[in-house]
Amino acid sequence: MAELADRATSSRHISVLQRVLHLDVQLVTALLLLSCAGLAVLYSATNQSVDAVQNQIIRMSVAFTAMVVMAQIPPDTLRRWTPWVFLGGLIMLVLVLLVGTVGQGAQRWLDLGLFRFQPAELMKLAIPMAVAWYLSMRPLPPSLFSVLLTTVAIAVPTGLIILQPDLGTALLVSASGFFALFLAGLRWRVMVTVMLAIVAMVPVFWLFLMREYQKQRVLTLFDPERDPLGSGYHIIQSTIAIGSGGVFGKGWLNGTQSQLDFLPERHTDFIFAVFAEEFGLIGVLQLLALYLFIIGRGLYIAVNAQDTYGRLLAGSLTLTFFVYVFVNVGMVSGLMPVVGLPLPLVSYGGTSMVTLMAAFGILMSIRTHRKLWAS
């Protein structure tokens, strides 16, 4: 007899959303809640710009659409596409560097005529997909050979992204690959060895592959004091904003630090400081709890996924989402060096949001496309 693999999803509880649209009710609710909170802070952080909020709503709509679309693709289909998505992404990363030599500063975009596209964004999905795809075909825990091959598959695109240079994204894609390995049961001693190997590769990049201005950027990244009037100033201002918010906050639209223009990048990477100033510790804890709920739900989906591919992919995407939150909040509150990562669904800007929501679409697909299990 056939029985559903997951008893929690017994038939009478499956809502229309879940059955027809392949969405996960809990996750969608939490993401919508987060988006609304994001829009409210954005309105304040942009000195009450209706335009900015409208733009953000448009971007969110695009991102949610991406999520719904991804949720319709069954994990099996996604798995079949995986090697091609990865290869395609890799080729585009190389193209971006070749075509981009003329441009200035960072060259991340590929002009496809109709629209422009950031291959590094695709890699945020393609790397965890590729690692999950490869490892799901091997016995686990992965053999040393599998680990080495996977590491190369992570390191090559990461290196290409570093060359753009886009260190925030490089950090995310390498972390996502690592998470998939970790969840697959990577042995501790192998983990330590690989880490050491990666550290050993750094000088190679530094000495032979990076250009002078890229090195300068990296140095400033790890040591804001090199640029006391730049990043150092950001941190001072954002900690003042957060601290002065206190337990209850100064109230929506009343954050003096934010409203009086002291806080740079206050509607993008540093928007968390605006939130903390206006809503206080109580607001902050609620926001972190909301993020924690989303992450918890993601890990729950991972644990209950039906096959290794789904498990590894769901787990890795969820933990990568956590990296966003941790790095951004850690940076704004002065715990970490300044890495340009947005606060998911709250910061102003569109590109990474679309990828993020596509990732949640994949999670939902893994949750809702369930096969009947024959035993």
Partner 1 sequence: MAGDHHNQLRDRTQEKRQFTRRTFMAGAGVLVLMGLLGGRMGQLQVAGHQRYATLSQANRVKLVPLPPNRGLIYDRNGIVLAENRPNFQLLLTPEQVPDMDVTLAGLGEILDISDAEMDRFQGLRARSRHFEALPLKVRLTDREVAAFAANRHRFPGVEVEARLSRHYPHGPHAAHAIGYVGRINERELRRVDRRRYGGSSHIGKTGTELQFEERLHGHAGLEQVETNALGRVIQPLGRRAPEPGDDMVLTLDSRLQRVAEVAMGDESGSIVAMDVRTGDILALASMPSFDPNIFVNGVDRATYAALQEDPERPLFNRAVRGQYPPGSTIKPFIGLAGLEHGIFDPDETVFCPGHFSIDNVSHRWRCWRRRGHGNMDFLDAMIQSCDVYYYKLGYELGIDRMAAFLERFGFGRAPGVGIPGERSGILPSRDWKRQARGEGWFHGETIITSIGQGYFLSTPLQLAHATAIIANRGVSVGPRVLRAVHDATNGETLATEEAQRKRVVELDDESLWDVVFKSMEESVHGDRGTGRSIRSDLDYRIAGKTGTSQVFSLGQDEEYDEEELQRRFRDHALFTAFAPADNPRIAVAALVEHGGSGGAVAAPKVRQVLDAYMQGIGGETNHG
Residues lying near partner 1 in the complex (CB under 8 A) are found at 46-47, 49, 51, 103-106, 109, 139-141, 179, 182-185, 227-230, 233, 237, 239-247, 256-257, 260-262, 264, 276, 280-281, 284-285, 288, 291-292, 295-296, 299, 302-303, 308, 311-312, 315, 319, 322, 326, 329-330, 333-335, 375
Nearer to partner 1 by Cβ, of 90 and 267: the residue is 267
Give min distance, CB of 351 to partner 1, in A.
9
Q: For residues 271 and 346, is the Cβ–Cβ distance under 8 A?
A: yes
Give min distance, CB of 161 to partner 1, in A.
17
Alpha-carbon distance 157 to 169, whole Å? 11
Q: For residues 263 and 228, is the Cβ–Cβ distance under 8 A?
A: no
Give min distance, CB of 17 to partner 1, in A.
25
Nearer to partner 1 by Cβ, of 46 and 146: the residue is 46
Give min distance, CB of 18 to partner 1, in A.
22
> What letter does residue 187 receive in the DSSP assignment?
-
Peptide bond into 165 cis (omega under 30): yes
Nearer to partner 1 by Cβ, of 90 and 345: the residue is 345
Query: Which residue, chain included where needed, has tokens 């890495």?
Result: 339
Give min distance, CB of 192 to partner 1, in A.
16
Q: For residues 21 and 68, is the Cβ–Cβ distance under 8 A?
A: yes
Give min distance, CB of 134 to partner 1, in A.
15
Give min distance, CB of 268 to partner 1, in A.
10
Alpha-carbon distance 124 to 177, whole Å? 9
| Tokens at 66, concatenated | 């991406």
Alpha-carbon distance 325 to 335, whole Å? 13
Give min distance, CB of 254 to partner 1, in A.
12
Nearer to partner 1 by Cβ, of 205 and 262: the residue is 262
118: how many CB neighbours lie within 10 A of its CB?
21
Nearer to partner 1 by Cβ, of 12 and 115: the residue is 115
CA distances from 92 to 22, 101, 154, 239, 276 (A): 31, 14, 15, 39, 39
Alpha-carbon distance 32 to 68, whole Å? 13
Give min distance, CB of 245 to partner 1, in A.
6
Nearer to partner 1 by Cβ, of 17 and 293: the residue is 293
Nearer to partner 1 by Cβ, of 68 and 76: the residue is 76
Query: What length does the chain have?
Result: 375
CA distances from 318 to 32, 56, 202 (A): 17, 23, 27
According to DSSP, the residues that pair with 116 across neighbouring strands are: 111
Nearer to partner 1 by Cβ, of 90 and 311: the residue is 311
Residue 77: HSE in the Cβ half-sphere, 13 Å Cα cutoff? 9
Nearer to partner 1 by Cβ, of 209 and 285: the residue is 285
Q: For residues 273 and 68, is the Cβ–Cβ distance under 8 A?
A: no
How far from each other are the two terminal CA atoms of the chain, in whole angstroms?
8
